[in-house]
Amino acid sequence: MTWETVIGLETHVELATRTKIFCSCTTEFGGAPNTHCCPVCMGMPGTLPVLNEKVVELAVTAGLALNCAIAPVSRFDRKNYFYPDLPKAYQISQLYLPIARDGAVDIGGGKTIRIHELHMEEDAGKLVHDPWLDQTLTDYNRCGVPLIEIVTEPDFRSAEEVIAYLEKLKETLQYLGVSDCKMQEGSLRCDVNLSVRPVGSAELGTRTEMKNLNSFKAISRAIAYEARRQIELLEEGKRVVQETRRWDENKDATYAMRSKENAQDYRYFPDPDLPGVELSGAYLEHLKASLPELAEHKRARYQADWGLPAYDTEMITSQKTLAEFFEALVALGTDPKQGANWIMGQVLGQLSAHGLEAKDMKLTPATLARLIALVKEGRLNRNTAVKVFEAVFVTDGDVDAYVKEHGLEQVSDAGLVETVVEQVLAANEKSVADLKAGKEKAFGFLVGQVMRQLKGQASPAVVNQVLRDKLG
């Protein structure tokens, strides 16, 4: 029998707000334990939540970009359970009226993933076990950090589709400024619901939910493992138990955490401390109008308008900052292909050499545009321009001043080139003879000698031309 894997995802994304969802504590990652908290996020008696409006804005923005229907009225509900990382013993989330529903994401290859819902909620704290003292300590810094949870329909059929969706989701949310989506800091987390069924079957099999998937690699491996495990069970005539399983990165396997029979009853009910979130038509229109252009649109536009190869558009749109840099460069009159080459070669090279992220780069589009213009005008040769670029990159130095100070301007005086060519020909009679005997290699040697005399500042095209003329 051949089997089909059916997967649905629940993705938690940390929103890029400065402050928490229900108080004004910072959301900054890290910090000494219990220093980013206050009576509200620590759930002290008598304290009350007040919704951060920026959270609603980012959630709606994400919902719109994922083609969801936005609820004009949504509500917060309490999810009740006891755990020491949850100081109120309930998480404020949305169950009955989530802020967005019924979306769709195109993941390429003609495949669309339907979004069941997107809702807002607060993060919990974390527990730190101290094996030395055999004590468990609580750190409430993460408590109240705003999250959205994005739940898909069971539309995936392979790990590749899951990864394509997550890449797309990550790119979209980063472009929107909704989240930085750093998996290693936990700002993008994913639970995988997986079942298998005979190919052609319309019914869904019994599913398991996998947690603790901290990288795309872990997700791929966990899907492969779990699908194989379920198929083996079914082929042996056993059944799949509906349960939550934990992925163990080191053992490359999933382990049962709790079964459905032991599932908790969260006793959800509307949070009486928070009024409904009512969104006006004007507010939604405003957010719709201010949605930034997403990467896939940019890629299509770069190809259509400027004829850039697909590879270039992928590279340039891989980070929103780079794409914006590129567009500014073109707006300053730079040839798009030239601009793209400089970004993919020199800009990315220098970022990597200096261990910088594009968003932290000081170099302005104007500086690079000027440099490219000097090359185009024949006043700098490309190799020199690369050296100038490396010199001005970190501080966004003045290109013209640097060229002038270091005397790097390209020699465009044909008379000077001619004089030097004559000197070189006179001094290298053997090479001239070799060349005339058919050894083309000698030509390159002569060009090199001329360039050396001119300290590399001559246009290679001019040197070639003068040499050919003189050699007649």
Per CB under 8 A, residues contacting other proteins are 39, 42-51, 78, 80, 82, 84, 87-90, 138, 265, 267-269, 272-275
Smallest distance, other proteins to C-beta of residue 279, A: 16
Which CA distances in Å does 60 have to 44, 63, 270, 323?
Answer: 30, 5, 20, 24
Question: Would you say how long the chain is, in residues?
Answer: 472
User: Smaller CB distance to other proteins: residue 88 or 101?
Assistant: 88
User: Smaller CB distance to other proteins: residue 32 or 289?
Assistant: 32
Question: What span, in angstroms and rounded, lies between the C-alpha atoms of 144 and 160?
Answer: 33
Record the tokens describing residue 299, joined without a space.
Answer: 């890629």
Strand ranges in 31-133 using DSSP code E only, listed in sequence order = 69-70, 73-74, 77-80, 90-93, 100-108, 111-122, 126-130
Smallest distance, other proteins to C-beta of residue 21, A: 12
Q: Which residues contact 397 (CB under 8 A, 6 or more apart)?
A: 367, 391
User: Smaller CB distance to other proteins: residue 246 or 470?
Assistant: 246
Q: Which secondary-structure segment (H or E) carries 340?
A: helix 336-342
Smallest distance, other proteins to C-beta of residue 275, A: 6
Smallest distance, other proteins to C-beta of residue 148, A: 20
Smallest distance, other proteins to C-beta of residue 80, A: 5
User: Smaller CB distance to other proteins: residue 24 or 321?
Assistant: 24
The answer to whether 374 touches 401, Cβ cutoff 8 Å, is: no
Smallest distance, other proteins to C-beta of residue 221, A: 31
User: Smaller CB distance to other proteins: residue 6 or 42?
Assistant: 42
Smallest distance, other proteins to C-beta of residue 123, A: 17
The single residue listed with the structure tokens 């997967």 is 7
Question: What span, in angstroms and rounded, lies between the C-alpha atoms of 28 and 20?
Answer: 9
Smallest distance, other proteins to C-beta of residue 137, A: 11
Question: What span, in angstroms and rounded, lies between the C-alpha atoms of 351 and 89?
Answer: 46
Smallest distance, other proteins to C-beta of residue 86, A: 9
User: Smaller CB distance to other proteins: residue 46 or 281?
Assistant: 46
Question: What span, in angstroms and rounded, lies between the C-alpha atoms of 229 and 241?
Answer: 12
User: Smaller CB distance to other proteins: residue 49 or 336?
Assistant: 49
User: Smaller CB distance to other proteins: residue 88 or 207?
Assistant: 88
Compute the Cα dihedral for 424, 427, 430, 436 and give only its sign.
positive
Can you give the C-alpha Rg of the chain in angstroms?
31
User: For residue 192, what are the β-bridge partners?
Assistant: 9, 210
Question: What span, in angstroms and rounded, lies between the C-alpha atoms of 171 and 282?
Answer: 27
Q: Which of 75, 57, 84 is nearest to 143 (CA)?
A: 84
Smallest distance, other proteins to C-beta of residue 278, A: 13
The answer to whether 296 touches 310, Cβ cutoff 8 Å, is: no
User: Smaller CB distance to other proteins: residue 72 or 84?
Assistant: 84
Smallest distance, other proteins to C-beta of residue 136, A: 8
How would you label 201-231 residue by residue, b for 16+ Cβ within 10 Å and e otherwise? eeeebbbbbbbbbeebebbbbbbebbbebbb
Which CA distances in Å does 432 have to 19, 110, 259, 416, 452?
Answer: 74, 62, 86, 20, 17
User: Smaller CB distance to other proteins: residue 55 or 190?
Assistant: 55
End-to-end CA distance of the chain: 78
User: Smaller CB distance to other proteins: residue 45 or 281?
Assistant: 45
